[in-house]
């Protein structure tokens, strides 16, 4: 029996003898070092628990050990209001430096009256960019939704683009979408920055639509996509109560959905988009009329 295993849990009996009573352990020096250490360690562990219990009473929670987005450890930023911790770059918006004072993540931060300012690109360049793109409040709300998706355990397959090696993926899925693209478009510095929450929401549903279209319905990824979509829809209703988002109501398997996506996408004139030739086709004027389905 490994002794570190013994430290973690109740020692398992190594023989068929009945497990000794606690008092026996204390009195018998010939016992293996594992259980001895356990006894020595226990009172300390007990104190630790009591201490952290006191801290918990103050803070109301204990922070997690791994980044809520990438599930990796390292230098992590702890939210003061929820157990989530983040790498600066994994948070939405990505932060440029560690904050000095109190800090709350964008899931917990008040979107109307933010308790803390983030040191992020949008803030640093706000002077030049406030005129276009999402309003400050919509920006914070979309960031919250994006972070809610990213910190959901099911989001792993959606965080990065599907591999170019995935057979036939890019033949079948004409408008790939993933959270890395959505994150980038939340940046006011992006030429494709959102100008309304509708565009953000449409991209999220496009991502789920692609997932449902490409993957077998029974597959793990398809199931994750459906669950995450339901999660997103519920959060969307929470943060935008009473507001209708056309994409949320479309049957994501229908062809109309694709058309609607293109129409929504094409209805905005982004000068910078001309650089991306594969986007040109989607700005066809004829598609605009189909928008009125909704």
**Chain residues in the site for Zn ion (CB under 5 A):** 67, 69-70, 79, 81-82, 87, 90, 105, 107-108
- Residues paired with 85 in a beta bridge: 67, 78
Least separation in angstroms between CB 73 and Zn ion = 9
Task: Render 48-80 in DSSP notation, one character per residue.
Answer: HHHHHHHHHHHHSS---SSBTTT---SS-EEPS
- Taking the complex as a whole, how short is the minimal distance between the CB of residue 166 and Zn ion, in angstroms? 24
Closest distance of CB 67 from Zn ion, Å: 3
- Give me the least distance between CB of 162 and Zn ion, in Å please: 21
Q: Select 70 or 239, whichever has its Cβ closest to Zn ion.
A: 70
Output 233-236 pairs: Cβ under 8 A, ≥24 positions apart. 235/145, 235/148, 236/145, 236/201
CA distance 29 to 39: 12
Burial readout 106-117 (b: 16 or more C-beta within 10 A, e: otherwise): bbbbebeeeebe
* In the complex, least distance from residue 147 CB atom to Zn ion, rounded to whole angstroms: 9
Nearest CB to Zn ion, comparing residues 20 and 114: 114
DSSP 8-state secondary structure symbol assigned to residue 287: G
Q: Which is nearer to Zn ion, 148 or 260 (CB)?
A: 148
Of 217, 205, 219, 221, give the one whose Cα is nearest residue 256: 205
Task: Name the residue nearer to Zn ion (CB basis): 70 or 248.
Answer: 70
Q: Which of 105, 110, 117, 55 is nearest to 77 (CA)?
A: 105
Q: Is the separation of the CB atoms in 229 and 205 below 8 Å?
A: yes
- Closer by beta carbon to Zn ion, 14 or else 89: 89
156 vs 173, beta carbon nearer Zn ion: 156
Distance in Å, CB of 109 to Zn ion, minimum: 8
Smaller CB separation from Zn ion, 97 or 285: 97
Are 133 and 139 in contact by the 8 Å Cβ rule? The answer is: yes
Cβ-based neighbours of 244, under 8 Å, separated by 6 or more? none
The distance of closest approach from Cβ of residue 74 to Zn ion in the complex, given in angstroms and rounded to an integer, is 7
Structure-token match 């009591």, residue found: 50
């Amino acid at each position: 029996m490994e002794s570190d295993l013994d430290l973690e849990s109740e020692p398992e009996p190594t023989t068929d003898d009945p497990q000794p009573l606690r008092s026996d352990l204390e009195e018998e020096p010939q016992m293996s070092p594992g259980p001895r250490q356990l006894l020595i360690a226990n009172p300390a562990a007990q104190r630790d628990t009591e201490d952290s219990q006191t801290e918990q009473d103050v803070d109301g929670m204990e922070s997690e050990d791994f980044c809520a987005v990438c599930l990796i450890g390292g230098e992590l930023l702890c939210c003061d209001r929820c157990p989530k911790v983040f790498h600066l770059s994994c948070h939405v918006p990505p932060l440029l430096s560690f904050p000095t004072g109190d800090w709350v993540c964008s899931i917990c931060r008040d979107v109307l009256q933010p308790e803390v300012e983030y040191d992020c690109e949008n803030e640093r360049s706000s002077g030049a960019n406030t005129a276009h793109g999402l309003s400050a409040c919509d920006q914070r709300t979309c960031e919250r939704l994006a972070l809610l998706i990213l910190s959901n355990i099911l989001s792993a397959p959606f965080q990065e683009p599907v591999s170019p090696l995935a057979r036939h993926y890019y033949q079948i899925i004409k408008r790939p979408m993933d959270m890395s693209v959505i994150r980038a478009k939340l940046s006011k510095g992006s030429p494709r920055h959102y100008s309304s929450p509708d565009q953000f929401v449409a991209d999220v549903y496009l991502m789920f639509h692609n997932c449902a279209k490409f993957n077998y319905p029974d597959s793990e990824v398809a199931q994750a996509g459906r669950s995450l979509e339901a999660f997103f829809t519920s959060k969307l209703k929470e943060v935008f109560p009473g507001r209708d988002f056309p994409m949320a109501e479309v049957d994501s398997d229908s062809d109309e959905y694709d058309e609607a996506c293109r129409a929504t996408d094409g209805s905005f004139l982004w000068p910078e988009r001309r650089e991306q030739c594969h986007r040109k086709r989607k700005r066809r004027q004829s598609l605009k009329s189909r928008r009125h389905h909704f």
